[in-house]
Structure 1
Amino acid sequence: MKNAQTDEETNMKVSAMNYYSYQLMIRQDVENHILKCRQLFHQYIVDMYAKIETERPLYIRLNQTELRSEEYIHLRDTIVNDGNVNPNELGRIVILPNTQIFGGTFTGSPRHMHEYAQDAMTYVRVYDCPDLFITFTCNPTWDEIKELLLAGQSSPDRHDITARVFKQKLKALMDFINKHHVFRKTRCWMYSIEWQKKGLPHAHILVWLINKITSDQIDQIISAEIPDKDIDLDLFDVVTKNMIHGPCGAFNNNSPCMSDGTCTKRYPRNLVSDTITGNYGYPLYCRRSVEDGGKSIVLKVRNVDVEVDNRWVVPYSPLLSKTFKAHINLEYCNSVKSIKYICKYVIKVSDMAVFGVGNMAAQLDEINQYQLGRYISSNEAVWRILSFSIHERHPTVVHLVVHLENGQRVYFTADNFTTGNNFNCILLTVQG
């Protein structure tokens, strides 16, 4: 009966995803009026995805009797040491699972994201620190996006096109790295898709290489300088359009990166003649001054011409930048000091802020906490409706069912837990 309910619930969700995916499709010689509604189109896809996502938490809430659990040793200590406890009130009240209960995990839940962070640390334990940390951001001016826009539309009007094109570009990037070995052969990799409020989708990627990059090879892979326009005009155009930070600070104090008068991204960086490693786990890339042979350009900031030099350049790979013509930040991260932060940064929970006044019992409702703090943007809604994955990794991490002594889980169900006497039977059964 449980399997039948699980299959039915999963099929309903898949059917809903397929239906709304069909509604968003571009079909030849067929007018799709939904795609012409701009802001109303955004509202439509957010509402539809919220409706789809709500079905699964509702199903989990209605079947919490299958999820109430606690570690055996905690139950035993509670019953033995405190005879006034009602056994029927033990166990988590409402949980949002991360195990293969009800046909799979709840993607995006805090437990699910924490599990992925632990998997990332498993890669570190087995394969040592990653070599490269890549941030790949969608470029709304890609030709593939502009060619599919309707008359009078711009890329912010069509997040469905943005999602599809970025998914294809991301797959091409991962094939470029893993199959063509542009940075040498890879041992393993993982990435996570993120949307910052109303921003474009971007992927945080960690790559482990079989042959580690040494400090004297960093400059061959990563650059943090403005290229020479006379030598490589294409690379110059890509870098000046996509890889210049700000300028912020005194030039633009209202920049989104500013907080308390300081740039949160630590720009402008210091000018150095050679790459230096060992600074808090992150290298100081070569950024030559104009006097030392570096280049500079003039940008307009708030209708004022500002001279920008290598201090404002975001580290990049010349090969990746020329190939994909987008903002691709490439960092060398082979350091124990930075790895824990990076693994948690790649797999992190959505921003949220929830507060309330009430009794402590309300804090046990994980589904309610998740839904109160959930932020759904139209970019993410389209991505999820189209059933695109938000996490990918290779190789697969297999979770073994192991525990400390007496640390196994005991599940509360209607069949085995209705009275205190039945609970004592559970203890005897587990001990036996």
Structure 2
Amino acid sequence: MREYYSYKLQMREKYTPSVLNTGRLLQQYVIDMYIKIETQRLDYYKNRQELIRREQLQGIMDSVVAGHCQGSRVGQRVILPASFIGGPRDMRRRYVDAMALVQKFGKPDLFITMTCNPSWPEIKQHMLPTDEAHNRPDLLARIFHAKLDLLKEELFRKEIFGPVAAYTYVVEFQKRGLPHAHFLIILKAGSKLYSTESYDNIVSAEIPDKMPNRHLFNMVRKHMIHGPCGKQNPDNVCMQGSQKKKCKNNYPKPFADTTFHGENTYPTYRRRKDGKKIIVRGHELDNRWVVPYNGYLLAKFDCHINVEICSTVKAVKYIYKYIYKGHDRIRFRVNSDASDRPDSNIQPSAIDEIREFQSARWVCAVEATWRIFRFQLSEIHPSVIHLQLHLENCQAMNFTPDQDLRDVVRNRHAKRTMLTEFFYMNSVDKLAQHLKCTYKEFPEHFVWYPGKKKWEPRKQKHSIGRIVAASIGEGERYFLRLLLTHVRAPTSFDDLKTINGKYISTFRDAAILRGYFESDTSQEQCLEEASSYQMPYILRRLFATLLAEQAKHFSIEHS
């Protein structure tokens, strides 16, 4: 279906489909068609859940012992999986993947936001004289996608800011329909931005001289002046509070003779009081109103392109959380009066992630066209491999309701997982034995083939691994993750529990005896890792759990 509508929206040299010249009706058309495509995909997941069940292998074996051999008798239902692009689970997974880059390569150095310019010549030249840009979402999507590729070429192939170690970007859509992209870039060690002089070489927050840089001057005036707001325009959209007395972006900024480091925030850029003024929307403005930009990128792309130094921002997870916040939505519920009465027999409605995702969703025409053309919503480099984590015989298994569970248990190929094959490779593969990798390091040297369910030596492309999260409240699974993070080249679950030839009965005791949990820094390391991507309320819960676990361990030792 998607391919059909993508075909219908193509511009051709000798023939342009009439639907592209229908004005605002085209916006309604592409939104309706995209909703139809997305509904079909969601229906697939909804109907698939009635056929496919997931259960741990140990649970299947317990069911067989109990005499329940039909797949319809056991299993758990999954609502909207992370494989659905753009869903809440998918956005959460991408956020944690991006934070894995921070753990591997350090904090991001540059935060770049590029917004589509509906007046680009490439858009205007393909429109009829009576057309308006917002009525041609196909053109906006295509041209912005092409400009995005050009920006990626400048940043990652030409390396205008220096060699890049890792990056991620996300494409979003404003309510007025214009797409924009957020880039977070981590530079390699030799190109890191440490001094204020290096900041000034990349970012400017001043009005350029008009005579030698007329083009750049016009671009700054056109795209990079904020507002105005405040006393000059109290009704501007950026004004917040009931009295609308303060700009949420803190404009106008204060004058500054030099750039200096921020206190756990963005730098304060140089904005000299040099007398330069610029007329924008009938107001005379100075350097205090300039949005930070890079002169080369602004002059080349002729659009709003904000460049910020973010290496001094302490809480980088909030930046990543911002770009992976997901779609605009409104959440509401209408309850009947009967459900509020004490004697009511009406049960509360079950949580339905698919229905919640569809409800009150905001979709603009450009986003609909972007998705119909199957352009990427995000990209991350290097890629992050999600490493499965499960206890012995507790891996998830797929089976159908009419399947004999004895056949499921006997299927050795179905039992293979990334973790079990990681153990196997350390037992038999000479390269793996030579490298002596931890589980997280293994994907940097080997690639996982899901069809074959096996690891093979990596020939190209750099990837990093991320072990899926486990809370300390999960007990043995958490301590298994702790051991896999530190122990090199283990060959089995039992090998992780064996210390100096002595077999330890639990992963918890093995981790404690190896010094991974009761050492002076183990709790700090746990909190340090979690603080890089978790939100404060989860960190507080983790801290309380660590205190309770430590008190429990202390009471056992001294009983």
TM-score band (shorter)? 0.7 to 0.9
Alignment of 1:28-427 (within 5 A): 28-65=13-50, 68-69=53-54, 91-92=76-77, 95-98=79-82, 105-210=83-188, 211-216=191-196, 217-260=198-241, 261=244, 262-289=246-273, 293-300=274-281, 305-335=282-312, 337-356=314-333, 357=335, 362-403=349-390, 408-409=395-396, 413-415=400-402
1:255 and 1:89, CA in 2 relative to 1: closer, same or farther beyond 3 A? farther
1:281 and 1:70, CA in 2 relative to 1: closer, same or farther beyond 3 A? farther
Deviation at 1:32, TM superposition (A): 2.0
Q: Which amino acid aligns with 2:259?
A: T
Greater mean alpha carbon deviation, residues 124-133 or residues 343-352: 343-352
Residues in 2 aligned to 1:215 and 1:407: alpha-carbon distance in whole angstroms: 51
Deviations 1:258-284 (A, max 9, x none): 222122222111211111213232111
1:31 and 1:316, CA in 2 relative to 1: closer, same or farther beyond 3 A? closer
Q: Please say if residues 226 and 294 of structure 1, whose CA atoms lie closer than 8 Å, have aligned partners that are also in contact.
A: no
How large is the Cα RMSD of the aligned pairs?
A: 3.0
What secondary structure sits across from 2:387 in the alignment? coil
Deviation at 1:386, TM superposition (A): 0.9
Deviation at 1:341, TM superposition (A): 0.8
1:405 and 1:242, CA in 2 relative to 1: closer, same or farther beyond 3 A? farther
Residues in 2 aligned to 1:156 and 1:223: alpha-carbon distance in whole angstroms: 31
TM-score (ref. length: structure 1): 0.82
Deviations 1:128-187 (A, max 9, x none): 011101000011111111110013112112111111111010000000111111101111
What secondary structure sits across from 1:276 in the alignment? coil
Q: Please say if residues 177 and 365 of structure 2, whose CA atoms lie closer than 8 Å, have aligned partners that are also in contact.
A: no
Deviation at 1:113, TM superposition (A): 0.4
Residues in 1 aligned to 2:24 and 2:234: alpha-carbon distance in whole angstroms: 30
Q: Which amino acid aligns with 1:29?
A: K
Residues in 2 aligned to 1:89 and 1:311: alpha-carbon distance in whole angstroms: 65
Rg (Cα) greater in structure: 2
Residues in 1 aligned to 2:379 and 2:323: alpha-carbon distance in whole angstroms: 11
Deviations 1:31-70 (A, max 9, x none): 4211111111100000001001110111111111455547
Greater mean alpha carbon deviation, residues 257-266 or residues 173-182: 257-266
1:71 and 1:350, CA in 2 relative to 1: closer, same or farther beyond 3 A? farther
Greater mean alpha carbon deviation, residues 36-45 or residues 274-283: 274-283
Matched positions, count: 389
What secondary structure sits across from 1:117 in the alignment? helix
Deviation at 1:299, TM superposition (A): 2.3
1:126 and 1:251, CA in 2 relative to 1: closer, same or farther beyond 3 A? same
Uncovered stretches (5+) of structure 2, i.e. residues with no partner:
62-71, 340-345, 406-414, 416-559
Residues in 2 aligned to 1:54 and 1:69: alpha-carbon distance in whole angstroms: 24
Seq. identity, %: 42
Q: Please say if residues 65 and 412 of structure 1, whose CA atoms lie closer than 8 Å, have aligned partners that are also in contact.
A: no
Q: Please say if residues 131 and 332 of structure 1, whose CA atoms lie closer than 8 Å, have aligned partners that are also in contact.
A: yes
Q: Which amino acid aligns with 1:319?
A: Y
What secondary structure sits across from 1:398 in the alignment? strand
TM-score (ref. length: structure 2): 0.64
Whose relative contact order is higher, 1 or 2, with alpha carbons under 8 Å and at least 6 apart? 1
What secondary structure sits across from 1:337 in the alignment? coil
Residues in 1 aligned to 2:195 and 2:161: alpha-carbon distance in whole angstroms: 14
1:161 and 1:97, CA in 2 relative to 1: closer, same or farther beyond 3 A? same
Residues in 1 aligned to 2:221 and 2:394: alpha-carbon distance in whole angstroms: 57
Alignment of 1:9-20 (within 5 A): 16-20=1-5
Greater mean alpha carbon deviation, residues 397-406 or residues 228-237: 397-406
Uncovered stretches (5+) of structure 1, i.e. residues with no partner:
1-15, 77-86, 99-104, 419-429
Deviation at 1:89, TM superposition (A): 9.0
What secondary structure sits across from 1:187 in the alignment? strand
Q: Which amino acid aligns with 1:401?
A: Q
